[in-house]
Chains A and B, each alone.
Chain A
Amino acid sequence: MRASATRHAAKGTHYKAVVIGGSTGGSEALDVILAALPKDFALPILAVQHLHPSDDGSFACNLDRVTQLPVLEPHDKERIEQGRVYTAPANYHMLVERDGTIGLSVDARVNYSRPSIDVLFESAALTWGEALVAVILSGTNADGAKGMRAVKAAGGLTIAQDPASAKYPVMPQAAIEAEAVDEVLRAEEIGRLLAELGVREKP
Chain B
Amino acid sequence: MNNPKIEPIEIDLLLEAVFRRYGHDFRSYARASIERRIRQFMAGTGCASVSEMIPKVLNDKEFFSRLARYFSIAVTEMFRDPFVYRALREKVVPLLRTWPHFKIWHSGCATGEEVYSLAILLKEEGVYERTTVYATDFNDEALERARAGIYEVSKIKEASRNYQQAGGKASFSEYYHARYDAAAMDGSLKERITFANHNLAADEAFGEMHLVFCRNVLIYFNRELQNRALGLFTESLVHGGFLCLGSKEDIQFSSVSNRYKVVDGKAKIYKKKDTP
Contacts and interface: CB of A to CB of B under 8 A. Distances in A.
Interface centre among A76, A93, A123 (most CB of B within 10 A): A76
B235 interface: no
A75 B30 contact: no
Interface stretch (B57-65, B145-153, B215-223): B215-223
A159 to B, nearest CB: 21
A129 B5 CA distance: 10
A97 B36 contact: no
B4 interface: yes
B35 interface: yes
Interface string A3-38: 000000000000000000000000000000000000
A5 to B, nearest CB: 27
Interface string A147-180: 0000001100000000000000000000000000
A131 interface: no
Nearest to A154: B4
B73 A103 contact: no
Interface size class of A (residues with CB under 8 A): 20 to 34
B32 A75 contact: no
Contacts of A106: 75-76, 216, 219, 246
A80 B38 CA distance: 25
A104 B218 CA distance: 10
A105 B33 contact: yes
A92 B35 CA distance: 17
Interface centre among B8, B247, B248 (most CB of A within 10 A): B248
Contact of A89 (B1, B35, B76, B248): B248
Given A76-B218, A76-B249, A107 B31 contact: no
B248 A76 contact: yes
Contacts of B83: 56
Given A76-B249, A107-B36, A123-B36, 7 more contacts: A76-B218, A103-B32, A104-B219, A105-B219, A105-B220, A126-B4, A126-B7
20 contacts: A54-B82, A75-B248, A75-B250, A76-B246, A77-B30, A77-B253, A89-B248, A93-B33, A95-B32, A96-B32, A97-B31, A98-B8, A103-B32, A103-B219, A106-B219, A107-B33, A107-B36, A107-B37, A107-B75, A122-B36
Interface of B: 1, 4, 7-8, 30-33, 35-37, 73, 75-76, 80, 82-83, 165, 216, 218-220, 223, 226, 246-250, 253
